A and B are shown apart, each in its own frame.
Chain A
Amino acid sequence: MEKEQNQMNGAQALIRCLEKKGVEYIWGYSGGAAIPIFDALVDSKIKLILVRHEQGAAHMADGYARATGNPGVVLVTSGPGATNTVTGLLTAYMDSAPIIVLTGQVPTFGLGKDLFQEADVFGITAPAVKHSYLVKNGNDIPRIVEEAYHICSTGRPGPVLIDLPKDVTSGPCTADLVNVKMDLPGYRIPGAGDPEKIKEMAKALSQSKRPLILSGNGVVIAGAQEILTAFARKLGSPVVTTLLGKGGMDEMDELSLGFLGMHGTAYANKAVSGCDLIMSIGSRWDDRITPAQIERFCPEATKLHIDIDPAEINKVLVPDVSVVGDAKLVLESLIDQIQPLESEDWLAEMASNKKKFPLGYKIHGGLKAQQVLDELNNLTEGKAVVSVDVGQHQMWAAQFCKSSSARSWICSGGAGTMGFGLPAAIGAQFGRPDDLVIAIAGDGGFQMTFFELSTIMLHKLPVKILVIDNKYLGMVRQWQELFYENRQSGVDLEGNPDFVKLADAYGMQAFRIRRPADIKKVLSKALEFDGPCLIHAEVVKEDNVFPMIPAGGTVDEMILKAPTKAMAKPIGST
């Protein structure tokens, strides 16, 4: 067998191992403790993308990972370089995105001695990673890279961090880079699921007349879109998705009811309250979709749960039947054991609810974000990769930008990280150079990471950026209006720059939308523009996202439009 005898240092071995795994890009920011690794990159075919802030690097790797399914790799230095990735780690961790973060570290002899730019990175990041390593021996590098790649991308994916002391990356690595053995006796990847449980699930399904499939991010990750669609059709069941599950089934499909939850479609939420069986596939019954008093969550319905993570079973609710396994593999064996249900009446009711309670907005009274997003969706026909930030625009985008395929909706759901949308779109564009990638951000979130416009310009990425600017932190303002007697506090973003001029300062083409009549014309121009551009939509200041289920409430508490009287403070978290 080939044995790659090497005269390498640890950093060179590290980069060589990453090349072998097929890594195309590393998003990074240099610094003292990481210089040996940056040095090794000079001779590598891996393309180093120098970002403007480490948080951006982490979100770019995350966006790349979500858009392609392949791990995204980040390289930063020790101390503040590493701590700046913590938000990115948490974001990836909460949404099960596979990223590998390489952090430079002070030499091993200095660990714990408060050397310049030292931080306990292992300790600081431990709660926000799937796994992590502090490398103390250069010869462990090939094994650790192999393991990190495997761990981050299999089972329930998640971030893995490798902390690399400078003497380890500068010192020799004589280990074999070809025949690398992993040592992971404690790591198990659930597969096809327990056949007995699957049989039990099929039996439970056969009893239902009003079934509902709740499709989560697990379906997207498992690549189960086709089998899910076939399964729903055979069973005769409507499908709701979680926010992250968007695209797990084509939202234009007649069985799709869009996304459910706090700001989900009314017809998705009504399906939850009307079903006699709810089957979650790769969703974790998150608090954005279930009430604080979980026993009030469709109390009459049979609950089925398929998840690759055993810790998700019984975490929020105790299902009647559960299967631990990969969404795709479980559905593949389950589909042969089900019969079409007599659900015609139920499906008819769902179709009628779609007509009765459509998503809507008033087109008079200034420029509405919803209209901008609706028009954008008409122009892209659900074919674009949409990466959103966090807040009102995120919810409106989720409502109006339909996803026709998996991995085309990129959104920080679990962590709700502002500043995510733009860098994630950049990562997605790197991963899918031929697809239309649109970043949608509010004025708040955009200003948290806008300096990555440089990264876009430098690499000539044709990302389209839509800034929905209401000069407010609109979601919090909405809460203050509805639940805090409109006592506004910490939400006014008066003082925003002119985003068109800002783009111009980076040499980026920019467009402005001020009137509803301009929407279509400007969006078309921007989408046709060859290269990156920014669209600044100056929308009305005070508008609210509806439908809305106050946090912790049940579907029955859903409000479809602005209430006329004061509302009680919600019982759920934020």
Chain B
Amino acid sequence: MTVVLPEVPRSPGRHVDEMAFPPRERYHDLVAAYRDSGFEMCVDVCGVDYLSHPGRDLPEGVSPGRFEVVVNLLSLSAKRRVRVRVQVPEADPVVDSLVDLYPGADAMERETFDLVGIVFAGHPDLTRILMPEDWEGHPLRKDYGVGRVPVQFKGAPGPR
């Protein structure tokens, strides 16, 4: 069975067979097509906040958003890896959930939501996973300060 993959910008990457940059609307369709063409496993889902590094290398036709959701898929039968990078704007950080395609993405999407603050539409249980439930903010965002233990030295700067 040959599956026609949706036409999206692609580029070669290091240590990966293919990188695809779908727009948000076609992200779920693209991953579904990859799954049907033999990528059995969703190895990793993570989010990156490009707030302080907006000028990254992207193929033509992809407008950078503040966030990026990076999905690594693996085909055990073909021994291939692909990476899907979808741009997510700051104003509306929502992408479709992959849980209906890959149940294993459950915990990884929860982690991305918890630490980067990206909402996965259609995820059945989008709650914090590593931070406490009542935590404010998403620690892996670049505008979230690094924690610091106050040290009582004379004239030391106060806690940030």
Report whether chain A binds chain B: no
Residues of B whose CB lies within 8 Å of any CB of A are none
Residues of A whose CB lies within 8 Å of any CB of B are none
